[in-house]
């Protein structure tokens, strides 16, 4: 198979309560650019692709408020999804289904990151109910994609900063790992799919945990935060790496010749014996066009 593509996500069906809340949000918060199907608001910033979020659960104080929240529903047995996957497979595509913004990321988008991290210590029941409700919806969504015949499930849950994890590894193992493990187990029980896990930043302390619970592909493996060569030596027998190019370093500040040299180095060393999808994971406007051309030309010709 020579191509990669993603079908549309499984379709959410907003509840009547949500549609009413959405209309009120549009009327009352004209400055919000959009409100998504989870009720999260996004206001544009002056900087490319950044937004200010409006967290609908930011002021919640009780589990009862959480239980009454109009979460979205997942459409079951969507024939359009199944037909699209079938159409792509007939063209010899490798088909991926997105379940990005997974449980931690979606939880803090709803709650606010400071409030959620405090909940992990001071309001554990609330945190557990919120994560479990999101997990239920995300699992339903992934199972629909597997039923439709996708080859890969893409998960995204940013848990890293440039220098460390957002939370201590012990907290991640308490709150996120068991739920992620159950999700992966239930998905792989229903079909032969690869599990792709995305997190920006430094997540090295839990990479072994990710392999233990069934993650097959790690993305983006930022070289500014983790050493791809070391990770290849440690985990190359159980993990594939997707990304790896330094979009915050060489791609942005290097010359075309330096981009060519680095591209070859990653192909030779991280791609040894397979297990590498070399890519540019965040092409910002300040990356020189000649560096992008140099990258693609090197991959094509080397």
Block residue for tokens 């950044």: 50
Distance in angstroms (rounded) separating the CA atoms of residues 56 and 59: 8
Q: Which residue in 125, 136, 74 sits closest to 103, CA to CA? A: 136
pLDDT at 51: 82
pLDDT recorded at residue 3: 35
What is the predicted pLDDT for the residue at 14? 47
Mean pLDDT, to the nearest integer, of 71-85? Answer: 95
Band (pLDDT 50/70/90 cuts) for residue 16 is: low
Region 209-236: mean pLDDT is: 97
Residue 34: per-residue pLDDT: 85
108: how many CB neighbours lie within 10 A of its CB?
A: 21
What digits encode the pLDDT tens for the residues 17-49? 545 554 555 455 445 578 899 999 988 877 767
Distance CA 295, CA 251 (A): 9
Kindly report the number of other CB atoms within 10 A of residue 39's CB atom.
Answer: 22
Residue 149 has pLDDT above 70, yes or no: yes
Helices (H), the chain: 16-28, 63-67, 79-90, 103-111, 113-122, 124-148, 169-175, 177-188, 207-212, 228-235, 250-253, 256-269, 289-301
The pLDDT value given to residue 48: 66
pLDDT (tens digit per residue) in 118-135: 999 999 999 999 999 999
**What integer is the mean pLDDT of 272-298?**
93
Q: What's the pLDDT at 256?
A: 97
pLDDT at 10 over 50: no
The residue whose two tokens read 């459409």 is 75
Phi-psi region at 53: left, alpha or beta (left = phi > 0; alpha = psi -120 to 50): beta
**Which DSSP symbol is given to 76?**
P
Q: How far apart are CA 153 and CA 174, in angstroms?
A: 23
Of 200, 205, 251, nearest to 221 (Cα)? Answer: 200
CA neighbor of 296 nearest in space, from 280, 273, 282: 280
Neighbours of 182 (CB within 10 A): 13
Termini Cα distance of the chain: 20
Residue owning tokens 């910002």: 284
Q: What is the pLDDT of residue 8?
A: 36
CA distance 45 to 285: 15
Q: What is the pLDDT of residue 45?
A: 78
Residue 199 burial (CB count, 10 A)? 25
Q: How many residues does the chain have?
A: 302
Which domains does the chain possess?
3-219 (3.20.20.210), 238-302 (no CATH)
pLDDT digits (tens, 9 = 90+) for 150-199: 999 999 999 999 999 999 999 999 999 999 999 999 999 998 999 999 99
What distance in Å separates the CA atoms of residue 50 and residue 47, rounded to the nearest whole number? 6
pTM, full prediction: 0.87
Extract the tokens encoding 159. Answer: 């848990």
Phi-psi region of 221 (alpha: psi -120 to 50; beta: other; left: phi over 0): left
């Amino acid at each position: 198979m020579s191509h990669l593509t993603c079908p549309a996500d499984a379709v959410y069906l907003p509840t009547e309560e949500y549609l009413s809340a959405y209309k009120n949000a549009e009327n009352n918060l004209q400055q919000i650019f959009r409100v998504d199907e989870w009720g999260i608001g996004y206001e544009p910033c002056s900087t490319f692709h950044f937004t200010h979020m409006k967290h609908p659960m930011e002021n919640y104080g009780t589990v009862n408020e959480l239980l009454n929240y109009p979460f979205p529903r997942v459409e079951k047995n969507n024939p359009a999804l199944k037909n699209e996957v079938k159409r792509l497979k007939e063209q010899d595509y490798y088909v991926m289904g997105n379940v990005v913004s997974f449980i931690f990321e979606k939880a803090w988008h709803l709650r606010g990151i400071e409030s959620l991290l405090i909940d992990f210590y001071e309001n554990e029941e609330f945190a557990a109910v919120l994560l479990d409700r999101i997990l239920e919806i995300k699992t339903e969504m992934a199972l629909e994609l597997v039923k439709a015949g996708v080859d890969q499930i893409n998960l995204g849950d940013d848990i890293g900063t440039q220098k460390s994890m957002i939370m201590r590894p012990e907290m991640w193992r308490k709150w996120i790992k068991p739920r992620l493990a159950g999700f992966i187990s239930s998905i792989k029980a229903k079909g032969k799919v690869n599990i792709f896990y995305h997190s920006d930043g430094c997540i090295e302390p839990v990479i072994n945990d990710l392999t233990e619970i069934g993650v097959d592909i790690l993305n983006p493996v930022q070289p500014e935060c983790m050493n791809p060569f070391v990770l290849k030596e440690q985990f190359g027998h159980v993990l594939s790496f997707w990304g790896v190019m330094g979009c915050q370093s060489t791609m942005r500040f290097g010359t075309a010749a330096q981009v060519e040299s680095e591209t070859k180095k990653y192909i030779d060393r991280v791609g040894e014996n397979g297990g590498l999808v070399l890519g540019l994971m965040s092409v910002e406007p300040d990356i020189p066009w000649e560096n992008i051309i140099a990258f693609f030309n090197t991959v094509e010709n080397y």
